[in-house]
A and B are shown apart, each in its own frame.
Chain A
Amino acid sequence: MSAVLITGGGGVGKTTLSAGLALAAARRGVKTLVVTIDPAKRLASALGLDVLGADPTPLADNLWGAMLDATRSWNDIAKRYAPAEVGSRLTTNPFFEAATQHFPASQSYAAAEEMTIYIESGQWDLILVDTPPAAGGIEFFTSPARMRSLVGGRLLKWLTGGSLPGRRFVYQFTARPALRIADAALGSELLEAVADFLIDFRAAYDGIAERSREIEQHLAASHKVVVTTADPAPLSEAARFFELENGTPELVVFNRVLPESWYHAKTVAPSPFDDNLVRWGTEAHRQAEARRRFSARWHVEPATIPWLAHTPNDLERLEQMIDSAVGLDLDRLFS
C-alpha cells in the first residue's frame, strides 16, 4: 500500500495530473483511489466524477474516485471523536460549519483525515490525494499539529475554563471587568453561544489529538509530488516543501513546459510566424533557466510535462499526457 500526495500552488494543473497518474497506475494493474478536491467539470465528467459524491466510486478498471467534502468530513470527525450526545449537539450547532471552516488548515485536516481512513481500510494498493490549494498545500502537512494546538491551546482552555460548566462559566466571564467591554461590543448572547460551542468542541479534544498523531505518521510515510510551472509564484510555493521537515518531495513535476530548442531555432524561410517563434522561444528560454535554477538550488531532477494547447478532457488524452512526460518514473512512484 502506498499513498501519494500531489501538492503545489494554485492553477498549476495538480488535479489533472492527479487524475492522469491515477489512471496510469490503474492501467498498470494497481488498485487505485484518487481523492480530488474540486475538479474542473470537463475533467470530472471525463473521469465520471460528476455523478460522484464523497464516497469512493468505481470509475474504470482498478480505478476509484472520491471527492472531498470538508463539511461532511467535519461532521464525521465530531461524531467520531466526541462523546455521542456532544457530537450530535455539535454538528447541529449553528456555529459548527463556520467554525470548522475557520479553524486553521481546516480543509487540509479534513482531507488528511479522509486519506487516513482510506489507507486504513486496506481496500486499495495506491491512494493518490490531490491536496487542497490553501497555502500551496503546505499546510496539509502541518494541519495535524495545528489542529492539536488549536483544540488544546491556551485560548480554548482559558475560554472554556477547564471543567467549568458552560452557563456558570459565562456568568463568571462577563462578571470580569475587562469582559464587560466584550459584552458591550458583541452582546452576551453571542458570547454565551460561542462559549457553549467551544466547551462542546473541547470534549472532542483527546480523540482529535490522538488521531492527529496517526494522521501525521501516514503523511510522513507518503510519497510527495510537487507540481509547479516555471512562474515565480508556484516556484516559491514549491520551494517551501523543501524547507519542511518530513515534507521533502520525492518528485518535482514542471507542467506547461516549452521545448528549449525553440529558443535556438533558426527559421529556414521567412514566414509570418517567425515573430511568434521568437516570442515563444524567449519564453521557453526563461522557463528553462527557472527550471535549472530550481533544480540546482534543491538538488532535484524534475520531470517535465509539455505545454498542451488543450487540457485533457478524456481518459485517452489523460493517458497521452502522462506518456508525454519526460523523466517521470512511475514504477518508483507507485511502489
Chain B
Amino acid sequence: MNLLQREGTARLDGSGSDCRRYPCEVFDKRLLIVTGKGGVGKSAVAAALALRAAFDGRRVLAMAMTDDTGLAVHLGVEQLRYRPTHIRSGLDAVSIERPEALNEYLRVQLGVPRIAQFGPLARAFDAVASTAPGIREVITIGKVLYEAKKGTWDLVVADGPPTGQIGSHLRAPATVARLVGAGRVLDQTGWMARLLRDTTATGLVMVTTAEELPVTETLESLAAISDENLVGIDGVIVNRTLGPLEGDIDRLDDGPAKQAAQLHSGLFEEQERWIAHLPDGLRVPYFFGLHTPPEVAARMADLWGDT
C-alpha cells in the first residue's frame, strides 16, 4: 500500500490534513531507499526519516550510497566513514566507500579470506568494476541490503543515488546475474533482488520539488522502476511546497506586501501545475528563514511526529 494513501497525511490533491503524522507503514519496513534529482532535498529527507525513526525508539542506520556530503551535513557531522558514526541515541550513520565496501563484500559475501583481499584480487575486482556494468553498483546496493538483512538495525535508511543512477543500482543484481555466467558473485544476486522486491521489507521513497525537470525525471524514473518491478515504491515526497494564499491580491496597494503575495501565488500556481502530474504523494512545506541543513532535517522530522 502506498504510504501516502493513508488517511491523515497530506494528499497532493490537497485533501486530508497537513503532513503531521508520517505514515507508520514506512517505519515498519527494514529498508528505505531515498532518491531524487540533485538539488531537491533528497539527503534532507533521508536524514529526517532516519531521525524520526530514531526519535520513535528504533535502532536506525543511515547510509550514504554515492556521495556522503549531503547526508553528513544534514546529520550535523563533518564527514561520514565506512565505520558507523554515532549521531544520537538510536541513530548511526555510514558512508559506503568503495575500497572498504569491496573488501567487506569479498569477505562476507564471497567468503574470501582477508589476506587474499589485497593486491591482485582487489585490483582485478576494481578493473572489472570500472568496466563491466552492474559490478560496482552491486557492491554498493549489496552493502545496503546486507545491513538491512542482518538484523542489527530496525530500519536502514539509504540516501540513495540521484534519480539518474537509481535504476542502474536497483537493476544491478539482475545485470550482474546476466553478465557473470558462473561464480560466487552470481550466487549472491538472488537474495538481493528478492529483498529489493519484498514490499513488506523494502521501499523506495522518491523526493522531488514541484518544478518541471524534477517532476519529469521523477515520472520517468517511477515508470521504469514499476515496469521492471525492481522495488516497491513508497510514494513521492514533494519538498519545499507552498500553501495557498487566501484573499484578493489585486486590492492590495503597490508595495512589498503585494509583491510578496504575487510571487507566492505565482509560485503556488506553477507548483500545483506540476504536482498534478504526480501520483499520490506527501507535501513537505518550504521552511522560510531556516539557516542550516541540520535545522531543516530536524524540522522535517518534527513534522512527521505525533503532535
**Which A residues are CB-close (under 8 A) to B116?**
178, 181
B247 near A194: Cβ-Cβ < 8 Å: no
Given contacts A277-B261, A309-B265, 19 further A-B contacts (CB under 8 A): A11-B37, A40-B216, A158-B123, A173-B124, A181-B121, A184-B183, A184-B184, A193-B132, A271-B247, A271-B257, A273-B258, A276-B260, A277-B257, A280-B263, A286-B291, A309-B262, A309-B266, A309-B267, A309-B269
B246 near A272: Cβ-Cβ < 8 Å: yes
Q: Footprint of A on B, CB under 8 Å? A: 37-40, 67, 69-70, 73, 106, 110, 112, 116, 119-121, 123-134, 136, 162, 179-186, 209, 211-214, 216, 245-247, 249, 252-253, 255-267, 269-270, 288-293
List the 8 closest pairs (A to B, CB-CB), nearest first: A11-B39, A309-B266, A10-B38, A10-B39, A98-B133, A282-B289, A265-B256, A272-B247
Q: Footprint of B on A, CB under 8 Å? A: 9-12, 38, 40-42, 95, 98-99, 102-103, 133, 135, 150, 155-156, 158-159, 173, 176, 178-179, 181-187, 189-191, 193-195, 197-198, 232-234, 236, 258-259, 261-262, 265, 267-269, 271-274, 276-277, 279-283, 285-286, 290, 307, 309-311
**Which A residues are CB-close (under 8 A) to B246?**
272
6 contacts between A and B (CB under 8 A): A40-B213, A159-B127, A187-B181, A233-B73, A274-B257, A309-B270
B131 near A133: Cβ-Cβ < 8 Å: no
Pick the contact of A159: B67, B123, B181, B245 (CB < 8 A). B123
Which residue of chain A has its CB nearest to the CB of B129?
A102
In angstroms, Cα B251 to Cα A301, docked, is 38
In angstroms, Cα B209 to Cα A189, docked, is 45
Pick the contact of A311: B110, B211, B263 (CB < 8 A). B211
Majority secondary structure, B binding face: helix
In angstroms, Cα B263 to Cα A310, docked, is 9
B256 near A198: Cβ-Cβ < 8 Å: no
**Which B residues are CB-close (under 8 A) to A12?**
39
In angstroms, Cα B128 to Cα A179, docked, is 13
Pick the contact of B132: A194, A271, A286, A307 (CB < 8 A). A194
In angstroms, Cα B289 to Cα A283, docked, is 4
Which residue of chain B has its CB nearest to the CB of A290?
B291
Closest approach, in angstroms, between the C-beta of B37 and any C-beta of chain A?
7
In angstroms, Cα B162 to Cα A116, docked, is 29
Q: With contacts A233-B70, A277-B257, A286-B290 known, is A178 near B128, CB below 8 A? A: no
**Which B residues are CB-close (under 8 A) to A133?**
38
